[in-house]
Every structure is written in structure tokens, then in C-alpha cells.
Chain A
């Protein structure tokens, strides 16, 4: 259990550091947190539930509520208050994007959509990448391998947002096959019914496709490299001598062992995708977590932005933990080695 215990400790350290980083970022925000929020309240008092011309006391009172940390505290006390607040799931309030709204509520509303995009893309990309990579390795040097390698390199050289723009241009604007934005069909009624769910997939098709098209290349290449390394081993030759079909060898004998070193890469890929939704959702006008993050950055809504970073990191850490725990099941060696 040492391995898993270490992973758990690592996860806690990560979350602790990111919350601390969030605190630092808010303290460092241009002009300091207090004056930034005060000016927001001044310029838009109704959004904070105040009359149009609030008195100084009223503003101060709202300021106290809005800021996680009372403005007159010394730094270390402010840090403690912030950390305690974060522990209770309170990451402050948005100041510009949706003034006065709770950050956590805003993010939790948007997060499932982004997770949906990323996980669908991850699963499809992985399946395609792994099968392709092991086949390429098995036929290494053949015309198939060379052709696919070039294709795949070309694919992975394309940043996903470029693919997204191209797909949007052709798929949505020029041909009109797919919607140009949004996350579900507004004419259907939200709930567990077929037209609504169809609409969700219909709207997710282009974003997911652009992640898959650019994502599977990297997977396939690393799969190919791992497989080539394994291809030299004796048990593969024995399997060949036993006359097993090449499909069986490439998927059962090669793939299983070649996937193991890729495992951490896959997890990091998931984190990258979650983070990458910032650009993706902006392009497709898909109101998920990334869109929220984009708005927060452009409008310099630091409390919302840091809250977003913290939530994304926590999601990522959870995904990593799940993967670590399952990895120990797949590969018993993980228990013994690493994290020395």
C-alpha cells in the first residue's frame, strides 16, 4: 500500500500548493484585491444588490462579504482565512464576469460540459491511437508504416485549435452540417430525453473531433515507439513461431505491454485537454469551464480565474488518483517500484 499512500500524499500536496498559489495570485492582482473589488462595486452597485448610489458603509459591508478575506487582516491571517474558506468549498465570489455570484457555483454549472468533451475525446483518441500505433510498429518499415507515420506526424503537428478553426470553417460555416456554437439544441427541453441528448452530441461533435484528430497522433507515435522496443523481445518471436495471427500478436502481446509506459502520458493528456478547453470552447462558443476561464482572464476577474484553476487542478488530481489506483491493479510492479 506504500505506493498508493504516497500518491495520496502527493495529491494532497498538489491541492494545497495550488490553493496557496491561488491566494498568491489574488494578492498580486493589479492594484491589490481590495481596491479592485471596491472599484467594481462602485462602478456597478446594482449587481451587488446595492442601491444605485451606495454609501461608503454599504460598500464596505458588501466588500466584506465579497472578499473571502477581510481587507484589514495581516497577510498570514488572511492566508489562514483563505485556506479555511477553501477547505469548506468557498472560493470567493466573481467580481466582473458575473458580479457577486459564487465562483464555485459558476464553475460547477459549467464543469460537466467540459469534462464531457474531454473524456469523450480522450476515449476515442486513445482507442484509435493505440490500435494504429501497434499496427504501425508491427509492420514497421512497410509502406503502411511510412505512410501512417507521415500522416500521424502531420496530424500531431497541427495544434488542436487550428483543427478546430478549420473544422468550424468547413463543417459549420461553409457546409452547415454542424452548429456554429452552443452546447445543446435550445428548442429541445433539457432533461433525459432523446432529442436533447442527440442535441448534446450533435453540438459536441466538432469540438470532440478536433481534439481527436490532433490527439491520436501523439498516442499512436508513442505506442509505436514502445511497441518497437518490445518487438525485439523473445516472447514476441515465440508467439510468431507459434503461428499466432498478426492481429492477435499486435493487440494482445504487444499492445498490453506497450500501453503501460504510456499510462501517465494518457493522464497528463486528460489534464491537458481539460486545460485546452479554454481555447476550444472559445472557438466553438461552447459555454463550459474553459469559456468561463477565458472570460475571467480577458476581464481580469482574478477571484474567478484562480477558483477555476483550483477546480481544474482538483479534477485533474482526482483523475490522476483514479488512474494510479487502477494502474496498481494492471501492473503489480507499480506497488514495488517508484516513489522510492
Chain B
């Protein structure tokens, strides 16, 4: 709108007409985007010890769920001798159950369904949370009131009992659907968090500017407001995924979800109920292997979530940088000073 009125003279000296010497190609733009959205955060994550461990752990599980399923055969009953201890034979590295199933196979072949559930649940929770939170915070008024009432109502229903009813009513077997059901309340917290972030944001100058320029609400929301919400979205994703793991294993352990999928919880259930692994020390590994697997996965995700805090929180980042610098300056005090003088002297000499 504004540009139509401004005279398009050839006046090169006007600061409003300044042009870069080089034109940015599409490739440059994408490269920059990848640089700032993918590589830089990954670098920060990798620099943080928690992030590094988290990435490694999650990668292992991803490999287990993709490549691992190709190499390790689908476990079946009486596939090997019953209750082989862990690390005793190469064929069954993690031992076998009393039904003669290979525990490693059970773990590996549960992973793909687990990932499907996590992804479905986390995406569903995030999408709902972002949409509700953004609209509620940005629109305000009655829209806000209605949406927040719904959110608070959803939030006030205790999760597990609600899941029990839903699982009993629907008896879902599709992992994607299970994931969504398990995270059915996951969006509420995120929606509230995002709403409270959006509230002050909608009065910010640049948002006002976009509005005055006649940008449609949807583009103001996605271009100006949403990027600020990235930390919450990432955290929401991690929390959603962890929540889905806990809930799914819990429900499978209780035996409430139909046992059509392999799941760590099913193994746990078998071990707890079927075998007396609680009394029998020979069967302890049957209980231990799924426990370690579940804990490892959630541990990796929690670490990643922690490390993402570093990526998004400039204050934390700045403080760590400063501390690193301080340490480098302070620690070897005498030697370092000399070195500094030396190098400056060298530079001067050159």
C-alpha cells in the first residue's frame, strides 16, 4: 500500500532505495534458513553434554526401530530355550522369556509402533495446543473465554481414568490412533502456556505494524507470533512424546489396551503377571530389560528437552558463554597473561 505512493525515482542516494550489491538467490535464502534453523541449534545442542547424550540415545532408538527391525527376527513363542539369562548366548543377547521369546527382538519390534504413537500423539497435542493458544490469546474477548473454558475443563479431568474409559470404549489397535488418544489432554497445558505468551505479544510494535499494514490475521499469527512460540512448541513436543510413552506402557502393562501390538508394556505385564519374575531371580532380567528400555528412551527425550532450553533461552546461552570465557581467562592465571602478552607482541612485531 505504502509503496504505491512513494515516487520511484532514480535517486540512488536515498537510504530507502538502498540495494544490496549482490542479489540473494533462492538457494542462498534456503541455505541461510537451514543454517539458522537446523545447523545452529544442532551445534548448540551438541555442545551441551545433555544434548549430546540425548541425541545419541534417541538416535539409537530410531535406528532400533528402523534398521533394527530388518536384522532382528520377529520374536515368536518357543523360538529359543526358556529363560536364558542375559549376555549368555550370542543368539539371545538379552536373554529370553519363559515362553522362549528373544527379549531383544521383543524390545526392537516394539519400537516402530512406539514411535508411531509418540509422533501421532505429540503432533496432535502440539497442533491443538498451538491453534487454541494462538487464537485464544490473539483474539481475546469471547473467543478467548470460550476456548479457555474448554481448555480448563479438559485439563481438570484426571488423565489416566479418562484414558481407561476411552480405551475401554474404543479399544484402539492402530498405533497412530492410540497415540492421539493417549495425548488427548496434552494440548491443554501447551494452549495455556502459548496463550499467556501471546497476550503481551499482541501489543508489540511489529505485530501492530503488520496489523496496520492490513496483513490477514492468519499471516500475522504464523509470521509474527508463531516464531516466538518455538521454545514452547519444542518443549510441548518432547513432553508429549514422553507422556505418550509413559501412558502407553502403563496401559499396556495394565492390560487395558488390546494386545495386538508388540509393546514394552506387554513384556512388562507378562513378566510381572505370567512368570512370577518377582519371586524368581532367574527371571529378573525379563523384568529388567523392558524397564531399562523404557527408562532409556524417556531419559533421552528428557535430556533433549533440557538441552533445547539452552537453544532457546538466550540468557542461559549468554551466561554459559560468559562463564566459559571467564574460566578461560581466570584459570591458568600467570601463564595465560604471559601468553597474551607474547601473542600481542608477536602481532606487533609482524
Distance in angstroms between the alpha carbons of A278 and B162 in the assembled complex? 11
Shortest CB–CB separation between residue A135 and chain B, in angstroms? 18
Instruction: Tell whether, in the assembled complex, residue A18 and residue B157 are in contact, meaning their CB atoms are under 8 Å apart.
Output: yes
Interface 9-residue window, one of B17-25, B33-41, B299-307: B299-307
Instruction: Tell whether, in the assembled complex, residue B165 and residue A13 are in contact, meaning their CB atoms are under 8 Å apart.
Output: no
Instruction: Tell whether, in the assembled complex, residue B323 and residue A141 are in contact, meaning their CB atoms are under 8 Å apart.
Output: yes
- Contact partners of B315 in chain A: CB under 8 A: 229, 232
Q: Mark B58-101, 1 if CB is under 8 A from A, else 0.
A: 00000000000000000000000000000000000000000000
- Contact partners of A149 in chain B: CB under 8 A: 50, 306
User: Does A282 reach chain B (CB closer than 8 Å)?
Assistant: yes
- Contact partners of A21 in chain B: CB under 8 A: 157
| Given A29-B169, A232-B315: A154 in contact with B164 (beta carbons within 8 A) | no
Instruction: Tell whether, in the assembled complex, residue A25 and residue B165 are in contact, meaning their CB atoms are under 8 Å apart.
Output: yes
Q: Mark A10-43, 1 if CB is under 8 A from B, else 0.
A: 1101100110010001001110000000000000
Distance in angstroms between the alpha carbons of A11 and B152 in the assembled complex? 9
- Contact partners of B158 in chain A: CB under 8 A: 271-272, 274-275, 309, 312-313, 316
User: Does A166 reach chain B (CB closer than 8 Å)?
Assistant: yes
Q: How many residues of B contact A (CB 8 A)?
A: 52
Q: Which of these, B161, B162, B302, contacts A153 with CB under 8 Å?
A: B302
Distance in angstroms between the alpha carbons of A278 and B278 in the assembled complex? 20
Instruction: Tell whether, in the assembled complex, residue B161 and residue A13 are in contact, meaning their CB atoms are under 8 Å apart.
Output: no
Instruction: Tell whether, in the assembled complex, residue B153 and residue A166 are in contact, meaning their CB atoms are under 8 Å apart.
Output: no
Instruction: Tell whether, in the assembled complex, residue A153 and residue B306 are in contact, meaning their CB atoms are under 8 Å apart.
Output: yes
Interface 9-residue window, one of B7-15, B106-114, B253-261: B253-261
- Contact partners of A158 in chain B: CB under 8 A: 295, 298
Instruction: Tell whether, in the assembled complex, residue B294 and residue A28 are in contact, meaning their CB atoms are under 8 Å apart.
Output: no
Shortest CB–CB separation between residue A59 and chain B, in angstroms? 25
Q: Which of these, B164, B245, B306, contacts A278 with CB under 8 Å?
A: B164
Shortest CB–CB separation between residue A324 and chain B, in angstroms? 11
- Contact partners of B270 in chain A: CB under 8 A: none
Instruction: Tell whether, in the assembled complex, residue B278 and residue A279 are in contact, meaning their CB atoms are under 8 Å apart.
Output: no
User: Does B156 reach chain A (CB closer than 8 Å)?
Assistant: yes
Instruction: Tell whether, in the assembled complex, residue B295 and residue A282 are in contact, meaning their CB atoms are under 8 Å apart.
Output: no
Q: Mark B145-164, 1 if CB is under 8 A from A, else 0.
A: 10011001101111111101
User: Does B56 reach chain A (CB closer than 8 Å)?
Assistant: no
Instruction: Tell whether, in the assembled complex, residue A161 and residue B169 are in contact, meaning their CB atoms are under 8 Å apart.
Output: no
User: Does A162 reach chain B (CB closer than 8 Å)?
Assistant: yes
- Contact partners of B156 in chain A: CB under 8 A: 10-11, 14, 271, 313, 316-317, 320
User: Does B167 reach chain A (CB closer than 8 Å)?
Assistant: yes
User: Does B291 reach chain A (CB closer than 8 Å)?
Assistant: yes
Distance in angstroms between the alpha carbons of A275 and B168 in the assembled complex? 16
Distance in angstroms between the alpha carbons of A300 and B170 in the assembled complex? 12
User: Does A169 reach chain B (CB closer than 8 Å)?
Assistant: yes
Q: Which of these, A275, A298, A339, contacts B160 with CB under 8 Å?
A: A275
* Chain A interface main SS type: helix
Instruction: Tell whether, in the assembled complex, residue B299 and residue A157 are in contact, meaning their CB atoms are under 8 Å apart.
Output: yes
Distance in angstroms between the alpha carbons of A140 and B160 in the assembled complex? 35
Instruction: Tell whether, in the assembled complex, residue A297 and residue B294 are in contact, meaning their CB atoms are under 8 Å apart.
Output: no
Q: Mark B269-281, 1 if CB is under 8 A from A, else 0.
A: 0001000001101
CB-based nearest A residue for B167: A297
Shortest CB–CB separation between residue A215 and chain B, in angstroms? 13
Instruction: Tell whether, in the assembled complex, residue A165 and residue B157 are in contact, meaning their CB atoms are under 8 Å apart.
Output: no
Distance in angstroms between the alpha carbons of A127 and B284 in the assembled complex? 34
Q: A-side interface residues toward B, CB under 8 Å?
A: 10-11, 13-14, 17-18, 21, 25, 28-30, 141, 149-150, 153-154, 156-159, 161-162, 165-166, 168-169, 173-174, 221, 225, 228-229, 232, 268, 271-272, 274-276, 278-279, 282-283, 293-294, 297-298, 300, 302, 305-306, 308-309, 312-313, 316-317, 320, 339-340
Q: What are 28 A-B pairs with beta-carbon distances under 8 A?
A: A11-B156, A14-B157, A25-B169, A149-B306, A157-B299, A157-B302, A158-B295, A159-B245, A159-B249, A161-B249, A165-B272, A165-B287, A165-B291, A169-B287, A228-B316, A272-B158, A272-B159, A282-B254, A293-B164, A294-B164, A297-B164, A297-B168, A297-B254, A305-B164, A309-B164, A309-B165, A317-B156, A340-B145
Nearest 3 A/B pairs, CB to CB: A275-B158, A275-B160, A157-B299
Q: B-side interface residues toward A, CB under 8 Å?
A: 50, 140, 144-145, 148-149, 152-153, 155-162, 164-165, 167-169, 189, 242, 245-246, 249-250, 253-256, 268, 272, 278-279, 281, 284, 287, 291, 294-295, 298-299, 301-303, 306, 309, 315-316, 320, 323
